[in-house]
Amino acid sequence: MKAKAAYLLGKRKFVIDECEIPECRDDEVLIRIRAIGICGSDVHYFLDGRIGDQIVPEKFIIGHEASGEIVAKGKNVKSVKEGDRVVIEPGISCGKCELCITGRPNLCPHVKFLGTPPITGAFREFIVMPEKNVVKIPDHLSYAEGTLAEPLAIALYGIGLSNFSIGNSIAILGAGPIGLSVLFCCENGGAEEIFVTELIEARAKMAQKLGADHVFLADKIDIEREISSFTNRRGVDISFECAGTQQTITQMINITAVGGKSVIFGIPAEDQIFFDPHTVRRKQIPILTVRRSAFTTEKALKLMCMSNIKFGAIITHKFPLEKIQDALELVASRQDGVIKAVIEP
């Protein structure tokens, strides 16, 4: 049996081709994919053909934010059945190494992460995953909303690393899907005051809609001065960098309170980023980095269900698999108010 898949041929060129429908082994499930979100990392692969030293092979399937329906299962699979709607956890960790055993499977050196070379990704109709890598989607969330569990899980994981607590003031630099995910989690989690900075108006508006208290267009306003004056020159408890640029990383440190914390979610295009060690040291700011997520996918789905805020609003565009080229071009261009685009094969 054949099915369709979207192959990336080096830089900026997709082709739709056939591939075999994989068979599932005893501990695996076969999933008919219904929705896949386009991630910033997919855009990096699309534009540059690589992220750092991870280089896309000649003909490769990317994509990792997927949800779908279980259509077959191996004989040992107990937790899900045919017809179940599930979100895919894209990281297949080994379960045996030191990092897996100590509860950090996201750092497993043997992890196979969907759509990261050489592991085939999810821009296709069918995929096989281990049973432990699927999480059921609650009834009133759609497949497309389900794909948001992946960026939300990363946000929740990074926020957890920062020890965020109720009443903290926070700043989010960059309101793309990850920045908006951090905003959604902190707004629901009881942040006292939330500052968001962003270059694109449509994203700034979305930040307002999701509950940010102060949203600044970063190229129109001196955001360091603004945040300083709103906080009586104190700065914020936690700054979340979600753009991956030198400028936002510098701002992140300058707007953080003495004794506060900074978290970097952004993936810079450059191989080196600089910061002022004197300011960091005098303020004693721990700078935390975030590698994907661990054990937060289910929480992300629950949060979407429980919240009065409709996080699904960040999905601005949907495309069939055949239009994946247009979809990636659009997300890369950041035109037409695009925030999250989802492919529905």
Residue 39 in the binding site for Zn ion (CB under 5 A): yes
Instruction: Give whole-number Cα distances, 161 to 105, 288, 312, 344, in Å.
Output: 15, 8, 25, 33
Task: Please identify, using beta-carbon distances, which residue of 251 and 293 lies nearer to Zn ion.
Answer: 293
Q: What is the Cα gyration radius of the chain? A: 20
Q: How many C-beta neighbours within 10 Å does residue 315 have?
A: 20
Residue 38 C-beta: closest distance to Zn ion, Å? 9
Question: Which residues in 58-77 contact Zn ion (CB under 5 A)?
Answer: 65
Residue 153 in the binding site for Zn ion (CB under 5 A): no
**What SS3 class is residue 227?**
helix
Residue 98 C-beta: closest distance to Zn ion, Å? 8
Task: Please identify, using beta-carbon distances, which residue of 65 and 131 lies nearer to Zn ion.
Answer: 65
Which of 168, 213, 161, 214 is closest to 189 using CA atoms? 168
Residue 11 C-beta: closest distance to Zn ion, Å? 20
Q: Which of 3, 43, 71, 94 binds Zn ion (CB under 5 A)?
A: 94
Contact between 261 and 285 (Cβ < 8 Å):
yes
Contact region with Zn ion (CB under 5 A), list: 38-46, 76-84, 297-305, 313-321: 38-46
Task: Please identify, using beta-carbon distances, which residue of 116 and 162 lies nearer to Zn ion.
Answer: 116
Residue 97 in the binding site for Zn ion (CB under 5 A): yes
From CA 47, how far away is CA 332, in angstroms rounded? 8
Please give the size of the binding site for Zn ion, defined by CB under 5 A.
7
Task: Please identify, using beta-carbon distances, which residue of 151 and 345 lies nearer to Zn ion.
Answer: 151
Return phi, psi of residue 129, to 5°.
-135, 155
User: Environment class of residue 59 by beta-carbon count within 10 Å: exposed (0-12), middle (13-18) or buried (19+)?
Assistant: exposed
Residue 313 C-beta: closest distance to Zn ion, Å? 18
Contact region with Zn ion (CB under 5 A), list: 47-55, 100-108, 260-268, 324-332: 100-108
Task: Please identify, using beta-carbon distances, which residue of 47 and 97 lies nearer to Zn ion.
Answer: 97
Contact between 67 and 88 (Cβ < 8 Å):
yes
What residue ranges bind Zn ion (CB under 5 A)? 39, 65, 93-94, 97, 100, 108
